[in-house]
Amino acid sequence: MSNSTRSVPARSTLIEMYRRMALIKLNDERFRAVIKAGKIVAPYYSPRGQEVIPAAVSVSLSDTDYICTIYRGIHDMLAKGLPVKLLWAEIAGRATGTCKGKGGPMHVTHPATGIMVTTGVVGSSLPIANGLALATQIRGEKRVTIAYFGDGASNIGAFHEALNMASIWKLPVVFVCQNNRYGEHTRYEVTTSARQIADRAAGYGMPGVRVDGNDPLAMHAAAKEAIDRARDGGGPALIEAMTFRFHGHVFGDMDGYMKKGEKEEAMARDPVPAWRNWLLENGHASEGELQQIEASIQRELDAAVEFALASPEPDLSELMTDVFAPGAAQEQAA
C-alpha cells in the first residue's frame, strides 16, 4: 500500500478512515463469533477484506448523501454511519431494528443515515440509485448517490441500462464496483468478457477507473474525485475497486472452488493492520490513540449485542404493516 504519490488527506480523515475500517473488521469478528455460538441465526455474507472501499468512499459523503448496497453490504452501511445497535437488532430479527426486524440482513434500510436500500437481487442497486439521484437532481439538491455492487453484477442487464441512463441524464451517481474476483463460486475470468470492468464505462460515455481498493489513499482519491464531480453536476462515474473477500461467499462456505493459497495470500496482506501500521510509521497516529479507538468500538459492539439479544421479536400484528404505502393496502383490497 501507499506507494501512492497522491496528496495525503488531512490527519483527521486518515484516522477516520481507520476508525471505519476497524469498526467493520471488529464488527465482522464479533458477528461470526455470535453466529457460531448459535445466538443469532441469519445468513451472513462477510465483507472482511473489503473494508477500505466504503471507509475511503464515505469520508467524502455526508449524512444526506445516499447509498444503495447489496447483501454483502454491512461494511458499506457501517462506514456510512448506520448505528451499530440498530444493525444488530435488524439482523437478529428484533422489533428494535432499522426495519422493525422485518427486513433482516438482506434488506437493511436507514434513511436517516442515507442507507436507502440493501438488496439480494444482483444488479438491482444500480437502477434504484439512479432513481434516488434523479429525485435529488429534480429537487435541485446537491446530494450524491453511491451504488455499491459486485463484479458479478456487472454482467447483469441492469448494470448496462443503469450506466446508460445515468450518463444520458447526467445523474449525480457514482457506481462503485467491489471486484473481489468471485461471484458466488465462480471466478471473474470465467464469467466476465471485459479485461477490466472499468473499461465498460467508455461504452456509456462516463469516466471509468480501476483502483486498488485495498489502498486507502488511492481509493480515497478516486472516490473524492468522482463524488466532487457528481456533486458539481459533472455526471456519473464508474470506479472498479480491486479487493478480495476473506470468508468465501456466505458463512459456512468451504472455499473448495478457490485457487489453492489465493485466500491465504490475500489475508496475509490484510488491509486493516496494514493501514494501522502505515499511520504509525508515518507519524499520523500514536499506538495509544489507535488502541483507544479500538476499545471504544469494542464497547459499542458489547452494547449492540446486548441490545439486540434483549430486544423482542416483532409482534404478529406487525405482519402486514409497512408492506404498502399508506392508503395503498386499502386500495389493493378494494
Ligand X SMILES: Cc1ncc(C[n+]2csc(CCOP(=O)(O)OP(=O)(O)O)c2C)c(N)n1
- Residues lying near ligand X in the complex (CB under 6 A): 72, 120-122, 149-153, 180, 182-184, 249
Q: Is 65 in the site for Mg ion (CB under 5 A)?
A: no
State in angstroms the smallest separation of the CB of 106 from ligand X. 9
- Please return the burial class of 29, using the count of CB atoms within 10 Å of its CB with bins 0-12, 13-18 and 19+: middle
State in angstroms the smallest separation of the CB of 121 from ligand X. 5
- Please return the burial class of 181, using the count of CB atoms within 10 Å of its CB with bins 0-12, 13-18 and 19+: middle
State in angstroms the smallest separation of the CB of 313 from ligand X. 26
Single out the residue of 269, 118, 257, 253 nearest to residue 188, CA to CA.
Answer: 257
State in angstroms the smallest separation of the CB of 231 from ligand X. 27
State in angstroms the smallest separation of the CB of 71 from ligand X. 7
Q: Which is nearer to ligand X, 156 or 290 (CB)?
A: 156
By beta carbon distance, the residue nearest ligand X is: 150
| Three-state secondary-structure class, residue 218 | helix
Biggest CA pair distance of the chain: 68
How is the beta sheet containing 237-242 ordered, strand by strand?
115-119, 66-70, 145-150, 173-179, 237-242, 208-212
Question: Which one of 27-35, 54-62, 149-157, 198-206 is the stretch in contact with Mg ion (CB under 5 A)?
Answer: 149-157
Q: Is 60 in the site for Mg ion (CB under 5 A)?
A: no
By beta carbon distance, the residue nearest Mg ion is: 150
Q: Which is nearer to ligand X, 183 or 208 (CB)?
A: 183
For 49-115, give the DSSP string.
Answer: T-THHHHHHHTT--TTSEEEEESS-HHHHHHHT--HHHHHHHHTT-TTSTTTTSS-GGG--BGGGTE
- Interface with Mg ion (CB under 5 A), residue total 4
Q: Which is nearer to ligand X, 51 or 151 (CB)?
A: 151
Q: Is 240 in the site for Mg ion (CB under 5 A)?
A: no
Cβ–Cβ < 8 Å for 183, 152:
yes
| Three-state secondary-structure class, residue 150 | strand
- Please return the burial class of 318, using the count of CB atoms within 10 Å of its CB with bins 0-12, 13-18 and 19+: middle
Residue 120 binding partner per list ligand X, Mg ion, none, with a CB distance cut-off of 5 to 8 Å that depends on partner kind: ligand X
Q: Is 73 in the site for Mg ion (CB under 5 A)?
A: no
Q: Which is nearer to ligand X, 121 or 202 (CB)?
A: 121
Q: Which is nearer to ligand X, 172 or 183 (CB)?
A: 183
Q: Is 180 in the site for Mg ion (CB under 5 A)?
A: yes
Q: How far apart are CA 331 and CA 327, in angstroms?
A: 6
Q: Is 151 in the site for Mg ion (CB under 5 A)?
A: yes
Instruction: Return residues touching Mg ion (CB under 5 A).
Output: 150-151, 180, 183
